[in-house]
Chains A and B, each alone.
Chain A
Amino acid sequence: MPAQLESGVNANDELFRTEVQQFLAANFPEDLKGKGNPLAGLEGPTNETDQQRKWREAVGQRGWGTPTWPKEYGGGGLSKAQAKILDHEMTKVGAFNPIGGMGVMMFGPTLLEYGDEKQKREHIPPICRGEIRWCQGYSEPNAGSDLANLQTFAADKGDHYLVNGQKTWTSGGQWADKCFAIVRTDRSDKHNGISFMLIDMDSPGVEVRPITMISGTSPFCETFFTDVKVPKKNLVGEEGQGWTIGKRLLQHERTNISGGGSLAGMMGQSLGVIAKTYCEADGDGELADKVLRDKIADLEIRWNSFLHTVRRALQESKAQGGVSEISSVLKKLGTKLSQERSELLIEIRGLQGLGWEGEQFTDGELEDVRGWLFGKAATIYGGSTEIQNNIIAKRVLGMLDHQ
């Protein structure tokens, strides 16, 4: 990182940098260098190795997986400048943040904003330590884009609610310990009849069935609630405040889906360079198929300007403070470009780029095929592109409600 980007760093921060370097030297196992983070992914069970567990515990104990969250709830309590130093130093030695998942990306920030003191003390520390997996109970069979149409009902039974209904597209539901859900507590008011509550996935009456997707994987589940008891202490905010809280959480989700979090990971390998291993080049080392070459350049130019847009959104929201409205634009642009990239990759590889299984295909080829299929979901979940367009038109452009 160029020195001028860190011009705000003061002497205390330099002490902190030394502390981080010492911590990494003492705790980060060389073997994990450059390896992914098992818990940060939304999908897949955790088969933690001892080494991974030790690394997670070391980071979690300091709260450095959630560096800017308050220390009193198990966060790192670091300033933004310090968090940047931490990130920088970890990248430098090939370390990764072992704390992740929906608890960190979506639920945690929302609970810190809306939860009461007891709830924060109960739920935030295990998230900071990476001990608990959260899943999201939002969509229902008849409440997808029209999310507020949800029907899962929580009946008031004095000291607890009795929840009945069905959620769907529950990401990682089969592996989750807990679920943050929006449920109906009042049938007479569409938006104000919704409440936000926390449900233990091992409660009697919770049943999870994984859904097989066109990509052949099952990262999503149907989740059935039959007379599930939820203690009242698990209500976040007031009854009827669920829509407001739930929407706030979606802002965090959208920023993450668009890739606002990890810019470096989005660069990918140049399609043109990949194409040279599958297609012929002419004497000058250019792709001989000029039509394909033009398509690739067109996409990569737009991809680059999207990355510039992500960067700009980050800088703007930092300068203004808070999630910028541009997050809706990022989701729409980023998901579409990713899909276009996957399609173009198939065109580059021909039928070799459509392999389902078998040793004749490389792991990379097979992964890209599944990614292409699974990627079709990206313009649907987290608020479909059409919903994003409604939001941009109405909230940002001030175009009026249609009837």
Chain B
Amino acid sequence: MAVLNEEQEMLRSMARDWATNESPISEFRKVRAAGEPKAYNADSYAMMAKMGWAGIIIPEAHGGSNFGFLSAGLVVEELGKTLTASPLVVSTIVASAIVLGGSDQQKDKWLPKLASGETVATLAVDEGPHYDPSAIETNVSDGKLTGKKAFVHEAHGADLFLVAAKDGLYLVARDDSVSLVTRKLTDQRSHADVSFNGAAAEKLEGGGVSLLDDVLDRARVLSAAEMLGMAQAVFDTTLDYLTQRVQFNQVLATFQALQHRMADLFADLAQMRSAVEAGLQAVDGGFGVARAATIAKAEANRVLNVISNQGIQLHGGIGMTDEYDVGFYLKRARVLEASWGSTSYLRNRFALLSGY
């Protein structure tokens, strides 16, 4: 764990307490059972916003706390541990896009509402099932945006979309020109193909040519923080299980084959944590962001993949049941691995950034 300041320590312990007591996995089961398209509990998101979590990266002048990405990551990690369903990550990323590229007017208009949780926002970038933010057909003419975005996270609850078009990023408030087709994925969260049919769009004019990459890098580090929480939770649950379960008259934790596998996972997890925290810190420091974010998400993909698989294997048959939580992590893990940077995309990007 990165060395934290006092504010960050408080924030983390507050998030941990809240996630453990108010938002354990049983709450996610309720959301799943309710079957609403937006797939999160609006009261619970309102509470999160009230505690200031939706405004962590938003400047104080616009109603946020401006604590930065490492702080946001601490909260998101704790929420990831209990698979708390909420639009916090995507809404935060849209806010960061407005901070980076929005006009004063756009900032005044949207940031306070995003910080208070009154407005829920999400990103609509990809247009196909394989991660490739360069393949964009969506275009804008006369301030009207037309295009089709695939597998948009938290689409059903969103009032505001940050849409990548050929010539830049646009804000689109939801209206009749925006239509959704639900795409139910393994994580049972909100995803939809979203069609924009001549939707009124306002461009983010600032932020330079790298704005989309900069925003995606922020999505990478923050989703990596969620993945870190998930990996940590699977690891802890699995370790707990191994120290309880008895077979051959022995606690499973006494078997060396399992000890060594857990030691491997522990080392992987340590490495994942370092990479993710370094990514968050790079965004806060404003230096080497592209590289650090690429490493952070690539390591999050690699380690969560291994740990989510091993979590099932080490639980044995019981890990295959819906009654046990460990399978929920697997089903969310792959969705996040494929979003904001698949492993092959990130390796290619790392090579490009390194000059080969």
Q: Which residues of A contact B (CB under 8 A)?
A: 270, 272-273, 275-276, 281, 285-287, 293-294, 296-298, 300-302, 304-306, 308-309, 311-312, 315-316, 319, 326, 329, 332-333, 386, 388-390, 392-394, 396-403
CA distance A270 to B294 in the complex (A): 16
Most buried by A among B251, B263, B277: B263
Q: What 0/1 pattern do residues 1 to 35 of B give for CB contact below 8 A with A?
A: 11100000000000000000000000000000000
CA distance A326 to B267 in the complex (A): 9
Q: Find out whether the CB atom of A300 lies under 8 angstroms from the CB atom of B270.
A: no
Instruction: Give the residues in chain B near A308, CB-CB below 8 Å.
Output: 271, 274-275, 277-278, 295
Q: Find out whether the CB atom of A300 lies under 8 angstroms from the CB atom of B299.
A: no
Please classify the interface of chain B as helix (H, G, I), strand (E, B), loop, or mixed, using the class held by over half of its residues: helix
A399 to chain B, nearest CB (A): 4
Chain A's closest residue to B353 (CB) is A297
CA distance A286 to B263 in the complex (A): 37
A291 to chain B, nearest CB (A): 11
Q: Find out whether the CB atom of A300 lies under 8 angstroms from the CB atom of B243.
A: no
Q: Does B209 contact A (CB under 8 A)?
A: no
CA distance A386 to B349 in the complex (A): 35
B319-356 interface (Cβ within 8 A of A): 344, 346-348, 350-352, 354-356
CA distance A312 to B356 in the complex (A): 28
Q: List 20 A-B contacts (CB under 8 A).
A: A272-B351, A272-B354, A272-B355, A286-B356, A294-B347, A301-B295, A302-B302, A304-B275, A305-B272, A308-B295, A312-B277, A316-B1, A326-B270, A386-B260, A390-B256, A393-B259, A399-B253, A399-B258, A402-B254, A402-B255
Q: Find out whether the CB atom of A401 lies under 8 angstroms from the CB atom of B254.
A: yes
Known contacts A275-B356, A300-B350, A309-B270: A403-B3 contact under CB 8 Å: no
Q: Find out whether the CB atom of B243 lies under 8 angstroms from the CB atom of A398.
A: yes
B192 to chain A, nearest CB (A): 32
Chain A's closest residue to B279 (CB) is A308
Partner of B351, one of A286, A302, A319: A286
CA distance A304 to B3 in the complex (A): 19
Q: Find out whether the CB atom of B243 lies under 8 angstroms from the CB atom of A399.
A: yes
Instruction: Give the residues in chain A near B108, CB-CB below 8 Å.
Output: none
CA distance A389 to B275 in the complex (A): 22
B144 to chain A, nearest CB (A): 36
Known contacts A306-B271, A393-B259: A315-B351 contact under CB 8 Å: no
Partner of A397, one of B254, B262, B277: B262
Q: Which 6 A-B residue pairings sit nearest by Cβ, starting from the closest?
A: A272-B356, A393-B259, A305-B275, A308-B274, A389-B263, A297-B347
Q: Does B36 contact A (CB under 8 A)?
A: no
